[in-house]
Structure 1
Protein backbone atom coordinates (compact mmCIF):
# COMPACT_ATOMS: atom_id res chain seq x y z
CA UNK A 1 0.00 0.00 0.00
CA UNK A 2 1.38 3.40 -0.95
CA UNK A 3 0.22 6.59 0.71
CA UNK A 4 0.79 9.86 -1.05
CA UNK A 5 -0.21 13.32 0.01
CA UNK A 6 -1.14 15.81 -2.64
CA UNK A 7 -1.29 19.17 -0.87
CA UNK A 8 -2.27 22.40 -2.55
CA UNK A 9 -0.94 25.17 -0.32
CA UNK A 10 -3.66 27.73 -1.08
CA UNK A 11 -6.60 25.37 -0.66
CA UNK A 12 -5.41 23.31 2.30
CA UNK A 13 -6.11 26.20 4.63
CA UNK A 14 -9.66 26.40 3.29
CA UNK A 15 -10.55 22.71 2.97
CA UNK A 16 -9.60 19.38 4.43
CA UNK A 17 -7.95 17.17 1.81
CA UNK A 18 -10.28 14.60 0.26
CA UNK A 19 -9.38 11.14 1.58
CA UNK A 20 -9.21 8.82 -1.42
CA UNK A 21 -8.42 5.15 -1.86
CA UNK A 22 -7.44 4.27 -5.41
CA UNK A 23 -7.63 0.56 -6.29
CA UNK A 24 -5.49 0.29 -9.41
CA UNK A 25 -2.97 -2.41 -10.33
CA UNK A 26 -1.09 -0.33 -12.92
CA UNK A 27 1.63 1.84 -11.29
CA UNK A 28 1.64 4.27 -14.24
CA UNK A 29 -2.12 4.77 -13.90
CA UNK A 30 -1.68 5.35 -10.14
CA UNK A 31 0.89 8.09 -10.83
CA UNK A 32 -1.27 9.60 -13.59
CA UNK A 33 -4.26 9.75 -11.23
CA UNK A 34 -2.27 11.44 -8.44
CA UNK A 35 -0.59 13.88 -10.86
CA UNK A 36 -3.98 14.74 -12.41
CA UNK A 37 -5.47 15.44 -8.95
CA UNK A 38 -2.56 17.79 -8.28
CA UNK A 39 -2.96 19.54 -11.65
CA UNK A 40 -6.73 19.83 -11.04
CA UNK A 41 -5.91 21.56 -7.72
CA UNK A 42 -7.92 19.05 -5.69
CA UNK A 43 -6.42 18.82 -2.20
CA UNK A 44 -6.24 15.11 -1.49
CA UNK A 45 -4.69 12.37 0.55
CA UNK A 46 -4.48 9.31 -1.71
CA UNK A 47 -3.85 5.75 -0.59
CA UNK A 48 -3.28 3.24 -3.37
CA UNK A 49 -3.95 -0.49 -3.34
CA UNK A 50 -3.27 -2.91 -6.17
CA UNK A 51 -6.34 -5.16 -6.22
CA UNK A 52 -9.88 -5.51 -4.96
CA UNK A 53 -8.91 -7.70 -2.02
CA UNK A 54 -6.45 -5.11 -0.72
CA UNK A 55 -9.19 -2.49 -1.13
CA UNK A 56 -11.72 -4.47 0.90
CA UNK A 57 -9.07 -5.22 3.56
CA UNK A 58 -8.10 -1.53 3.78
CA UNK A 59 -11.74 -0.47 4.14
CA UNK A 60 -12.38 -3.05 6.88
CA UNK A 61 -9.29 -1.91 8.81
CA UNK A 62 -10.97 0.16 11.52
CA UNK A 63 -7.65 1.62 12.67
CA UNK A 64 -7.91 3.84 9.57
CA UNK A 65 -10.70 6.36 8.98
CA UNK A 66 -13.08 5.65 6.10
CA UNK A 67 -12.15 7.45 2.90
CA UNK A 68 -14.38 10.16 1.46
CA UNK A 69 -14.43 8.34 -1.89
CA UNK A 70 -12.97 5.25 -3.54
CA UNK A 71 -11.90 4.82 -7.15
CA UNK A 72 -11.93 1.20 -8.35
CA UNK A 73 -10.37 -0.11 -11.55
CA UNK A 74 -12.61 -2.81 -12.99
CA UNK A 75 -9.87 -5.13 -14.27
CA UNK A 76 -7.48 -6.11 -11.47
CA UNK A 77 -5.84 -9.35 -10.34
CA UNK A 78 -6.79 -11.34 -7.20
CA UNK A 79 -10.22 -9.72 -6.84
CA UNK A 80 -11.61 -7.61 -9.66
CA UNK A 81 -13.27 -4.25 -9.24
CA UNK A 82 -16.82 -5.52 -9.71
CA UNK A 83 -16.34 -8.22 -7.06
CA UNK A 84 -14.86 -5.69 -4.64
CA UNK A 85 -17.69 -3.24 -5.35
CA UNK A 86 -20.31 -5.91 -4.67
CA UNK A 87 -18.63 -6.82 -1.37
CA UNK A 88 -18.31 -3.17 -0.31
CA UNK A 89 -21.90 -2.26 -1.18
CA UNK A 90 -23.12 -5.41 0.60
CA UNK A 91 -21.42 -4.36 3.85
CA UNK A 92 -23.57 -2.13 6.07
CA UNK A 93 -20.49 -0.33 7.44
CA UNK A 94 -19.00 0.41 3.99
CA UNK A 95 -21.95 0.78 1.60
CA UNK A 96 -22.27 4.55 2.00
CA UNK A 97 -18.73 5.30 0.79
CA UNK A 98 -19.04 6.76 -2.72
CA UNK A 99 -17.50 4.38 -5.27
CA UNK A 100 -16.30 5.47 -8.70
CA UNK A 101 -15.52 2.73 -11.19
CA UNK A 102 -12.61 3.24 -13.60
CA UNK A 103 -12.23 1.41 -16.90
CA UNK A 104 -10.69 1.84 -20.31
CA UNK A 105 -13.87 0.24 -21.70
CA UNK A 106 -17.28 1.76 -22.18
CA UNK A 107 -19.23 -1.48 -22.64
CA UNK A 108 -22.92 -0.85 -21.83
CA UNK A 109 -23.11 -4.19 -19.97
CA UNK A 110 -20.23 -3.18 -17.65
CA UNK A 111 -21.76 0.24 -17.06
CA UNK A 112 -25.18 -1.21 -16.24
CA UNK A 113 -23.69 -4.01 -14.10
CA UNK A 114 -21.69 -1.63 -11.91
CA UNK A 115 -24.69 0.73 -11.61
CA UNK A 116 -26.83 -2.23 -10.48
CA UNK A 117 -24.13 -3.27 -7.98
CA UNK A 118 -24.29 0.17 -6.35
CA UNK A 119 -21.43 2.18 -7.89
CA UNK A 120 -21.95 5.93 -7.74
CA UNK A 121 -20.16 6.77 -10.99
CA UNK A 122 -18.51 4.98 -13.93
CA UNK A 123 -15.57 6.83 -15.46
CA UNK A 124 -13.92 5.84 -18.71
CA UNK A 125 -10.19 6.43 -18.37
CA UNK A 126 -9.18 9.23 -20.72
CA UNK A 127 -6.46 8.94 -23.34
CA UNK A 128 -4.62 12.09 -22.28
CA UNK A 129 -3.33 13.73 -19.12
CA UNK A 130 -5.38 16.87 -19.88
CA UNK A 131 -8.44 14.66 -20.28
CA UNK A 132 -7.79 13.04 -16.91
CA UNK A 133 -7.46 16.45 -15.22
CA UNK A 134 -10.71 17.65 -16.80
CA UNK A 135 -12.48 14.44 -15.86
CA UNK A 136 -11.38 14.62 -12.21
CA UNK A 137 -12.50 18.25 -12.01
CA UNK A 138 -15.88 17.16 -13.33
CA UNK A 139 -16.15 14.30 -10.83
CA UNK A 140 -15.16 16.42 -7.83
CA UNK A 141 -16.59 19.81 -8.66
CA UNK A 142 -19.74 19.17 -10.66
CA UNK A 143 -20.89 15.61 -10.13
CA UNK A 144 -20.20 15.33 -6.41
CA UNK A 145 -23.65 16.38 -5.23
CA UNK A 146 -25.71 15.24 -8.21
CA UNK A 147 -24.27 11.90 -9.22
CA UNK A 148 -22.46 10.63 -6.16
CA UNK A 149 -25.14 11.29 -3.59
CA UNK A 150 -28.07 10.00 -5.61
CA UNK A 151 -26.89 8.38 -8.82
CA UNK A 152 -29.09 8.45 -11.87
CA UNK A 153 -28.23 6.56 -15.02
CA UNK A 154 -28.05 9.69 -17.19
CA UNK A 155 -25.20 11.09 -15.04
CA UNK A 156 -23.60 7.74 -14.24
CA UNK A 157 -21.19 7.33 -17.19
CA UNK A 158 -18.47 9.95 -17.63
CA UNK A 159 -15.85 9.90 -20.34
CA UNK A 160 -13.57 12.38 -22.02
CA UNK A 161 -15.97 12.36 -24.96
CA UNK A 162 -19.07 13.44 -23.04
CA UNK A 163 -17.62 16.36 -21.08
CA UNK A 164 -16.41 19.66 -22.37
CA UNK A 165 -14.24 22.46 -21.02
CA UNK A 166 -17.39 24.59 -20.57
CA UNK A 167 -19.10 22.21 -18.08
Structure 2
Protein backbone atom coordinates (compact mmCIF):
# COMPACT_ATOMS: atom_id res chain seq x y z
CA UNK A 1 0.00 0.00 0.00
CA UNK A 2 1.20 3.50 -0.81
CA UNK A 3 2.27 5.54 2.18
CA UNK A 4 0.26 8.60 3.05
CA UNK A 5 1.80 12.04 3.36
CA UNK A 6 2.02 11.51 7.11
CA UNK A 7 4.47 8.62 6.69
CA UNK A 8 8.21 9.17 6.58
CA UNK A 9 8.88 8.59 2.90
CA UNK A 10 7.95 6.78 -0.30
CA UNK A 11 10.28 4.02 -1.44
CA UNK A 12 10.77 4.35 -5.19
CA UNK A 13 12.65 1.82 -7.29
CA UNK A 14 13.80 2.83 -10.77
CA UNK A 15 14.96 0.35 -13.40
CA UNK A 16 16.71 2.12 -16.28
CA UNK A 17 19.80 1.16 -18.24
CA UNK A 18 20.79 4.79 -18.88
CA UNK A 19 23.00 6.14 -16.08
CA UNK A 20 22.11 9.74 -16.94
CA UNK A 21 18.38 8.97 -16.74
CA UNK A 22 18.88 7.33 -13.32
CA UNK A 23 20.86 10.37 -12.14
CA UNK A 24 18.25 12.88 -13.34
CA UNK A 25 15.37 10.84 -11.94
CA UNK A 26 17.02 10.83 -8.51
CA UNK A 27 17.81 14.52 -8.81
CA UNK A 28 14.16 15.20 -9.72
CA UNK A 29 13.00 13.26 -6.66
CA UNK A 30 15.23 15.43 -4.48
CA UNK A 31 13.39 18.51 -5.77
CA UNK A 32 9.96 17.26 -4.72
CA UNK A 33 7.94 18.23 -1.68
CA UNK A 34 7.39 14.51 -1.02
CA UNK A 35 10.12 12.72 0.93
CA UNK A 36 11.40 9.71 -1.02
CA UNK A 37 13.89 6.91 -0.64
CA UNK A 38 15.44 6.10 -4.01
CA UNK A 39 16.84 2.80 -5.22
CA UNK A 40 17.94 2.13 -8.79
CA UNK A 41 18.99 -0.82 -10.89
CA UNK A 42 20.39 -0.85 -14.40
CA UNK A 43 18.20 -3.44 -16.13
CA UNK A 44 15.07 -5.54 -15.83
CA UNK A 45 16.86 -8.72 -14.74
CA UNK A 46 18.45 -6.81 -11.84
CA UNK A 47 15.05 -5.36 -10.97
CA UNK A 48 13.42 -8.77 -10.69
CA UNK A 49 16.40 -10.10 -8.74
CA UNK A 50 16.18 -7.15 -6.33
CA UNK A 51 12.45 -7.68 -5.82
CA UNK A 52 12.89 -11.39 -5.11
CA UNK A 53 15.70 -10.78 -2.60
CA UNK A 54 13.96 -7.89 -0.82
CA UNK A 55 10.46 -9.26 -0.34
CA UNK A 56 10.33 -7.85 3.21
CA UNK A 57 11.18 -4.33 2.05
CA UNK A 58 9.39 -3.85 -1.26
CA UNK A 59 9.19 -0.46 -2.96
CA UNK A 60 6.01 1.59 -2.85
CA UNK A 61 6.35 2.46 -6.54
CA UNK A 62 8.36 1.03 -9.43
CA UNK A 63 9.39 3.16 -12.39
CA UNK A 64 10.46 1.17 -15.44
CA UNK A 65 12.23 2.13 -18.60
CA UNK A 66 10.66 0.28 -21.51
CA UNK A 67 13.85 -0.44 -23.47
CA UNK A 68 16.40 -2.23 -21.30
CA UNK A 69 18.85 -5.05 -21.95
CA UNK A 70 18.42 -8.59 -20.58
CA UNK A 71 14.77 -8.02 -19.60
CA UNK A 72 12.74 -5.11 -20.94
CA UNK A 73 9.99 -3.17 -19.21
CA UNK A 74 7.20 -5.19 -20.80
CA UNK A 75 8.68 -8.44 -19.51
CA UNK A 76 9.06 -6.93 -16.04
CA UNK A 77 5.46 -5.68 -15.92
CA UNK A 78 4.27 -9.18 -16.86
CA UNK A 79 6.28 -10.74 -14.03
CA UNK A 80 5.36 -8.10 -11.45
CA UNK A 81 1.64 -8.22 -12.12
CA UNK A 82 1.54 -12.05 -12.14
CA UNK A 83 3.31 -12.26 -8.77
CA UNK A 84 0.95 -12.24 -5.76
CA UNK A 85 3.54 -10.47 -3.60
CA UNK A 86 4.28 -7.75 -6.16
CA UNK A 87 1.10 -7.12 -8.16
CA UNK A 88 -0.12 -4.42 -5.75
CA UNK A 89 2.91 -2.19 -6.47
CA UNK A 90 2.08 0.66 -8.87
CA UNK A 91 4.25 0.61 -12.00
CA UNK A 92 5.11 3.72 -13.98
CA UNK A 93 6.43 3.05 -17.49
CA UNK A 94 8.89 5.55 -18.96
CA UNK A 95 10.20 5.77 -22.49
CA UNK A 96 11.19 8.19 -25.19
CA UNK A 97 8.54 6.71 -27.48
CA UNK A 98 6.06 3.89 -27.64
CA UNK A 99 3.44 2.92 -30.17
CA UNK A 100 -0.27 2.76 -29.37
CA UNK A 101 -0.26 -1.04 -29.45
CA UNK A 102 2.44 -1.30 -26.78
CA UNK A 103 0.71 1.34 -24.66
CA UNK A 104 -2.52 -0.70 -24.85
CA UNK A 105 -0.65 -3.87 -23.85
CA UNK A 106 1.09 -2.15 -20.92
CA UNK A 107 -2.21 -0.80 -19.64
CA UNK A 108 -3.98 -4.14 -19.99
CA UNK A 109 -1.14 -5.82 -18.06
CA UNK A 110 -1.67 -3.49 -15.13
CA UNK A 111 0.86 -0.66 -15.48
CA UNK A 112 -0.48 2.46 -13.79
CA UNK A 113 0.96 5.28 -15.88
CA UNK A 114 3.04 5.90 -18.98
CA UNK A 115 5.34 8.90 -18.81
CA UNK A 116 7.18 10.15 -21.86
CA UNK A 117 10.78 11.00 -20.92
CA UNK A 118 11.07 14.77 -20.91
CA UNK A 119 13.27 17.66 -19.81
CA UNK A 120 14.46 17.83 -16.22
CA UNK A 121 12.05 20.61 -15.19
CA UNK A 122 9.12 18.80 -16.82
CA UNK A 123 10.20 15.57 -15.16
CA UNK A 124 10.03 17.16 -11.70
CA UNK A 125 6.45 18.32 -12.33
CA UNK A 126 5.37 15.01 -13.85
CA UNK A 127 6.83 12.89 -11.06
CA UNK A 128 5.28 15.12 -8.39
CA UNK A 129 1.92 14.79 -10.16
CA UNK A 130 2.18 11.00 -10.43
CA UNK A 131 3.18 10.56 -6.79
CA UNK A 132 0.32 12.79 -5.65
CA UNK A 133 -2.17 10.78 -7.73
CA UNK A 134 -0.83 7.46 -6.44
CA UNK A 135 -0.95 8.60 -2.82
CA UNK A 136 -4.54 9.72 -3.34
CA UNK A 137 -5.52 6.49 -5.11
CA UNK A 138 -3.03 3.64 -5.62
CA UNK A 139 -5.36 1.74 -7.96
CA UNK A 140 -4.78 1.68 -11.72
CA UNK A 141 -6.52 4.74 -13.22
CA UNK A 142 -8.91 4.64 -16.15
CA UNK A 143 -7.28 4.22 -19.57
CA UNK A 144 -7.80 7.90 -20.46
CA UNK A 145 -5.51 8.85 -17.55
CA UNK A 146 -2.76 6.30 -18.35
CA UNK A 147 -0.59 8.50 -20.60
CA UNK A 148 0.71 11.57 -18.84
CA UNK A 149 2.21 14.62 -20.40
CA UNK A 150 3.11 18.07 -19.18
CA UNK A 151 -0.25 19.59 -20.18
CA UNK A 152 -1.91 17.42 -17.51
CA UNK A 153 0.44 18.57 -14.74
RMSD of aligned residue pairs (Cα, Å): 1.8
Residue matched to 2:149: 159
User: 1:101 and 1:142 mapped to 2: Cα distance?
Assistant: 15
User: 1:31 and 1:50 mapped to 2: Cα distance?
Assistant: 11
Residue matched to 2:40: 48
How far apart are 1:108 and its partner, in Å?
A: 1.3
Q: 1:136 to 1:62 in 2, by over 3 A?
A: closer
> After superposition, what is the alpha-carbon deviation per residue over 1:77-132, rounded to whole angstroms, capped at 9, x for unaligned?
00001001101111111111111111111421221110011111111111x11100
Match runs of 1:10-159 below 5 Å: 15-62=7-54, 64-126=56-118, 128-146=119-137, 148-159=138-149
The structure with the larger Rg is 1
- Any stretches of 5+ residues in structure 1 without a counterpart? 1-13
TM-score, structure 1 length as denominator?
0.82
- Structure 1 stretches of at least 4 aligned residues deviating more than 4 Å after TM superposition: none
TM-score, structure 2 length as denominator?
0.89
Which has the bigger relative contact order, CA under 8 A and spacing at least 6? 2
How far apart are 1:150 and its partner, in Å?
A: 3.3
Task: Tell me, yes or no, if the aligned pair for 1:18 and 1:68 is still in contact at 8 Å.
Answer: yes
Q: 1:155 to 1:28 in 2, by over 3 A?
A: same
- Any stretches of 5+ residues in structure 2 without a counterpart? 1-5
What secondary structure, in the 3-state scheme, does the structure 1 residue paired with 2:114 have?
A: strand
Task: Give the number of aligned pairs.
Answer: 149
